[in-house]
Amino acid sequence: MKEHLKLNYALKISRLFLVIVILSTRYYNPCFSQSINDSIAVSLLAEIEARSEMANSKEYEKVIKYYFAVAPQKALDVCERWVEKAKNFKDKISETDALINLSKCNIILGKFDEAGTAALKGIKLAARCGYPDGEALHFGNLGVIAEMKGDNTQAIKHYLKADSVFAMTGNLKNRAFIENNLGIVYNNIQLFEKSLEYYNRALKHKIELRDTIGTASTYVNIGVLYESLKNDYNKALDFYMVAAVIYDKYGLLPQRATIYNNIGLIYLNTGDIVKSKESLINALKIREQIGDITGVASTKLNLALYSQKAHNINDQIRYAFESASIFEKAGVKPKLAESHKLLADAYETIGKPASSLYHLKQYVSLRDSVLNEENQKTVQELEAKYQNEVNQKKITILQQENRIGKLILIALILAFITISVTLFFIFRQIKLNNKHKQMKSELRILRMQMNPHFIFNSISSIQAYMLKNNSDAASAYLLRFATLMRSIMNQSAKDIISLKEEIETLENYFALENMRREEAVNCIVNVKEGTDTEDVFIPPMLVQPFVENSFKHAFKEENKGNKIEIIFAIEER
């Protein structure tokens, strides 16, 4: 019992880094990294830097988004050159954007002091040039840095500041990022109901924005919460599997590594140490491949937990020492504390009490600085204070708008009359250009699409249920969808499956299709008498495409009495 509680506590603490890997990259839309390759990125960067004028921030960010996914250090180099060029051109807005990206790159590389310095410079610069969203983005980065260092009070202070600005400017995308991170912090300090509240806020924004990848990151965080709050590992695993489908679709390696890590910890906590090691090793390989230094340290810490469970003391000491070395340099106190605790346990096991006592003292000191009652009270006071500031700002803005509203209206009418004819022709040309670009984008997206339309329709159905606040239907659909996805993923590695498995997959598919239709289709599967479904084998997903085409083309949804009947029989030849 003592060992189980110790592992469960370590699991909760270790979530801080695993989920923040996704959220610290939230400002980058990972889909963009799929639209260019290395040669295109090199060519685009050379063209940008050769110009005699300052390039648009979005052009720089397109290159950085690519390198961020495949080579974070190279992304950092690009950011540093961007900062210098913006200074030379005295473009303060561009310099602010460059510092935002520079801070993010340093966070991923574990250089938190450098990231903090860039963020503080950016805040001052954004304030001077009247760029509130830029200022808020830098406060968001400071929140990530404080969270990584275990200073939850400062993390919430910075996140609330950023959230108040985004609420004023109406920036839903970045507000979803901030509120997602607030959910993580509240989970870290074990205020679980507050954590779920902020996750639901973030999820609402992401659904409204049709942000599929962002929605997946929130599914991961909710899965983590189910582990921490209720130890409901099956439900957590279902949320992870839905997110994994989305991450696989877009080829997102950092996020896929996080899923492997989380699943490895679930298996570890439920006693399946063989599957635990397999998942953790997969996560470690990906993080080493992409140069995610602190992610590598986090996975090695989890491998030390695995080694402890497997009674492999040498590996426990090795992995714990390697992770502690990185976390100490990066100043990540919660993870460093766990490394010392594992070292203390290992040395106690092999009979070295002096070494065990040293690491135990380090663990207690670090743990007490991260989790204490005073922090929780301060957090609640800070939230109330900043919520009051938000309300006061809203009142002030409304009063100012009432005073100058009439003057603005008159000015807008005069301006509209003056330039309306000119704008008509300009907007007409812009509309034609945008339509052309949209057609090209749609063609590119169609070429990139990896999964059939059924997956997209299913995710859209989940979102529709949530928008209607039909949480029971959404949960039922989500669980049914996760079960079907797990079956398909398991069967995809096989050349043949039993007829029984094929029928079970078809029944899950029937249920999902009927949940989306107003009039259910009567789906009947008959097996000829004397046929043993466990001894008959066929290729996986052999029948499903025909059934899908039947749903799509054979019926009108409003018709009643629609029917699909499938008969499996063995014919002698």
Q: How far is CA 173 from CA 197, 213, 220, in A?
A: 18, 12, 18
Total residues found in the chain within this entry: 573
For tokens 């052309």, name the residue. 436
pLDDT along the chain (573 residues), means of 10: 33 36 39 60 85 83 82 89 91 93 90 94 94 94 91 93 93 92 89 88 90 87 79 86 86 88 89 91 91 91 93 94 91 88 92 91 82 57 65 67 72 76 76 65 40 64 68 77 78 77 85 78 85 84 78 73 85 69
CA neighbor of 106 nearest in space, from 83, 143, 75, 147: 75
pLDDT at residue 80, as a whole number: 93
DSSP codes, 356-370: HHHHHHHHHHHHHHH
Q: Are 551 and 513 spatial neighbours (Cβ–Cβ below 8 Å)?
A: yes
First CA to last CA distance, the chain: 62
**Token pair recorded at residue 194:** 């507050």
pLDDT at residue 1, as a whole number: 28
Buried b (16+ CB within 10 A) or exposed e, 401-410: eeeeeeeeee
For tokens 């839903």, name the residue. 172
Distance between CA atoms of residues 436 and 414, nearest Å: 33
Q: Are 521 and 556 spatial neighbours (Cβ–Cβ below 8 Å)?
A: no
Distance between CA atoms of residues 471 and 196, nearest Å: 14
Distance between CA atoms of residues 3 and 21, nearest Å: 28
pLDDT at residue 2, as a whole number: 30
Give the SS3 label for residue 80.
helix
The answer for residues whose C-beta is within 8 angstroms of residue 485's C-beta and 6 or more apart is 241, 242, 245
The answer for residues whose C-beta is within 8 angstroms of residue 27's C-beta and 6 or more apart is 100, 104, 137, 174, 177
pLDDT at residue 558, as a whole number: 67
